[in-house]
Amino acid sequence: MALFGKTAKEWRDTNPDKKGNIRDYADISQLVCLSNLENLNAHFIADGLPQGERLLKLNKIAIQQMKLLTDDSGIKKLEGGR
């Protein structure tokens, strides 16, 4: 939700023709960000943060990370860009 703006179920409901899940269609930057968010979420849970607060924090972090990752030329090279 924090990264893609929708739940896995919402994605499946709006993409009934696609196989797999939303991660199968994510690009490398999104996958890196998602991995980071999962790690941070585990820490936030351990710290006892409520779900709503975790979601707000994770969404802000996702926005920052995606800006950094999509502007990074090294990531573009990994994706096959120039």
1 in a structural domain? no
Domain residues for the domain of 13 are 8-78
- Number of domains comprising the chain: 1
Residues in the chain: 82
Taking alpha carbons only, the member of 58, 52, 12 closest to residue 35 is: 58
The answer to whether residue 12 sits within a structural domain is: yes
Q: Is residue 16 part of a domain?
A: yes
Whether the model clears a pTM of 0.85, i.e. scores above it, the answer is: no
Which tens digits make up the pLDDT trace of 23-72?
999 999 999 999 999 999 999 999 999 999 999 999 999 999 999 988 86
- DSSP 8-class letter at 44: H
In a domain, 71, yes or no: yes
In a domain, 3, yes or no: no
pLDDT of 70? 87
Measure the CA dihedral 25/36/67/26, to 10°: 0
Tell whether 43 is covered by a domain. Answer: yes
Structure tokens at 32: 């890196």
* Structure tokens given for 65: 């990370």
Predicted pLDDT at 8: 87
pLDDT > 90? residue 2: no
Sign of the CA dihedral 69, 78, 76, 80? Answer: negative
Q: Is there a domain that residue 2 lies in?
A: no
